[in-house]
Amino acid sequence: MYSIVSTAIVCGIQSILVQVEADVCDGMPALEMVGVLSSEVKEARERIRAAIRNSGIRLSPKKITVNLYPADVRKTGTVFDLPIALAVLAAYGRIPQEYLEGVLFAGEISLNGEIRPTSGVLPMVLAAREAGKQVVCVPRENIREAQIVQGITILPGENLNQVIELIELFFKGKWENKGDNNNIEGTGMYYEHMEYDFAGIHGQKILKRACEIAASGRHHMLMLGSPGCGKTLAARAVATILPPLTQEEALELAKVYSVTGMFEQREKYFRERPYRSPHHTISLAGLAGGGAFPKPGEISLAHKGVLFLDELTEFQKPVLEALRQPLEERGIRLVRKSGTFFYPADIMLIAAMNPCNCGYFPDRNRCTCSKAVIERHLNKISRPLLDRIDLCVEVQRPVLSELTAKKPEETSAQIRDRVERTQRIQQKRFEGTEILYNSQIPASSMEQWCSLEPEGEKLLKDSFGQLELTARGYYRIIRVARTIADMEESEQIKRSHIQESLLFRSIDRKVWNWE
């Protein structure tokens, strides 16, 4: 007999439907599996045999052929265990084929027949909905992840016998939802658990201003300063002034965490923007993604949120250079023998570094580093990477009077209100386009969105040669000025806005072009 069962495979953060065919006929007893399979899929043969036997199901010895198509897609992972087992049982006539139609199955099977959790369930459920399927059966441990998708019924699988009983009850209309399908899109309090707040940062007006500009327009920022001046604390506090994710953004981010098997990290704070701070010993694959079985890296795990790189000069140079393309394209494409994988990487990069080994340059009265040592330290950051950072701010050590001042500082909630107001201006301006923030304005649309007053335009032209700006740096100054203008609710970019933008652009020249 012949049977067919639907499942899916994850490619990047998208999912492709896969059909599992099974044919049972007389012949030499064997279970053959074909369809461009990886080693772990081929190993499913022994797991399925043991699971069926230990579930108390006895099958007569026959020749079994299982095919997974489309054949031009390499099948990897253990998600095919459950659909293969059901296809074999249906081919034997133990399960009516009509019970399996319109249902997508996914899950790993243990030797005793239990259904174990798998990664990438969310993209699979989304692919099932797009294909018109109404029902998906997943391991019970993955049910909360699957429930994010609305308009589809989720059946929780615990073991092979229970799944067989479950689909029969559902087909006959006897299955009752006992509260399993509670959508989680609204759970989690926004930043309730965050222990960092701008109210805890005393003084540092320039740093706070830079953080607010960066958050308002989603600009990349580099902080230079001596140890202990508050760079790390400011970076952590930036995450608390970002508006919550939209439902669409939260769903896309949840897909990234789903394929990495880290969905539980997003479940409680589903609408909260991520904050990732990898250690400087991270590998290239750890940051950009990849590996033998490609998975998203830290860049993608920070999608729509903050990627903070502390001690920037301590990172390996190839790791830092891998940032250049994702910062421009807001995504990363990995090409491997098994296929091409695309992961989103629309991040807000915040980096912090000491200006030299001792940390006190350019204060030559305190800095003990030689010119050669300073140059080696600074040259760890390439000019092409530096050119992709919108704001550079020199963080000064706070004075005692600021630390002991009784005057209350602005809270993150107060700053976030202004950031949200500024972003609403951008959303209204870019309505109907693919642009979301000022940092994403293409060079070809500068004249349309960034109207400069004559004095501001003249200042920008004069500064182009003085600061030795590249074309990329020139446009980034305009984008930051556009954000500053929006913060002041000014339709036109004024000279003062250009001046402030140049201030945050010239600090890197002060450090890197020293004599």
Pairwise CA distance, residues 201 & 411, whole Å: 9
Q: What is the number of other CB atoms lying within 10 angstroms of the CB of residue 309?
A: 26
Q: What angle do CA 419, 424, 426 make, to 5 degrees?
A: 100
Pairwise CA distance, residues 142 & 420, whole Å: 34
Show the beta-strand stretches assigned E in 368-473.
Answer: 391-395
- In the numeric block, the tokens 């913060």 are attached to 487
Query: Tell me, what amino acid is at 361?
Result: F
8 Å CB contact between 343 and 256: yes
The angle that helices 471-487 and 454-466 make with each other, rounded to 10 degrees, is 140
95 φ/ψ angles, rounded to the nearest 5 degrees? -130, 125
280 contacts: CB under 8 Å, gap ≥ 6: 309, 310, 311, 312, 314, 315
Show the beta-strand stretches assigned E in 213-322.
Answer: 221-225, 275-276, 306-309
* Same fold flag, 2-171 and 198-512: no
Q: Which residues lie across from 138 on neighbouring strands?
A: 156
Query: Tell me, what amino acid is at 161?
Result: N
Token couple for 442: 């293409």
The domain defined by 2-171 folds into Ribosomal Protein S5; domain 2 (3.30.230)
- We find that the CATH architecture of domain 198-512 is 3-Layer(aba) Sandwich (3.40)
pLDDT of residue 190: 47
8 Å CB contact between 356 and 374: yes
8 Å CB contact between 274 and 305: yes
292 φ/ψ angles, rounded to the nearest 5 degrees? -60, -40
Extract the residue ranges of the chain whose pLDDT is less than 70: 178-194, 508-515
Domain boundaries, the chain: 2-171, 198-512
Q: How far apart are the first and last CA of the chain?
A: 82
Q: What is the number of other CB atoms lying within 10 angstroms of the CB of residue 43?
A: 14
DSSP per position, 290-315: BTTTTB--HHHHTTTSEEEESSGGGS
Which pTM was predicted? 0.89
pLDDT of residue 292: 74
Q: What angle do CA 78, 276, 295 make, to 5 degrees?
A: 25
